[in-house]
Amino acid sequence: MRIVSLNDVERVPVRMAGASGVERQLPIGAADGTPSHSVRVFTLAPGGHTPWHEHPWEHLNYAIAGEGEIVAADGTAHPFAAGDFALVPPGEKHQYRNTSRRRPFLLLCAVPKEHE
């Protein structure tokens, strides 16, 4: 069993082209012996966003705090706020955005451990 406080997990800036104001934490991952999935937490600063991206695995998301949106490839913005769950299917191009100008947006993302 592993129990960890998110406050004790190192925050690492996401330095990918197209990312702005994003930090990543890995509270549970392959190094902890998880058999299938890793849990990542992303913090998007006010006005921050991830790069546009797609991948051959699903994203299982939970909005922990704040408010934002998940934007689909066609530009449709889907509101995504604290307490919401979302599934982004494999191969679907998307972007996460913090729509607040005052508060961070935290989202949990579970992915197959090979892609943590």
What's the pLDDT score for residue 84?
A: 98
pLDDT in tens, 41-53: 999 999 999 999 9
- Answer whether 107's CB lies under 8 Å from 42's CB: yes
Alpha-carbon span 22 to 18, nearest angstrom: 10
51-63 exposure pattern, b = at least 16 Cβ within 10 A, e = fewer: eeeeeeeebebbb
What's the pLDDT score for residue 114?
A: 78
Number of helical (H) and strand (E) elements in the chain, helices listed first: 0, 9
Query: Which domains does the chain possess?
Result: 6-115 (2.60.120.10)
What's the pLDDT score for residue 28?
A: 94
Cα 17–Cα 19–Cα 79 angle in degrees, nearest 5: 140
pLDDT beneath 50: ranges in the chain: none
Report which of 70, 108, 107 is spatially closest to residue 92, judged by C-alpha positions.
70
What's the pLDDT score for residue 95?
A: 97
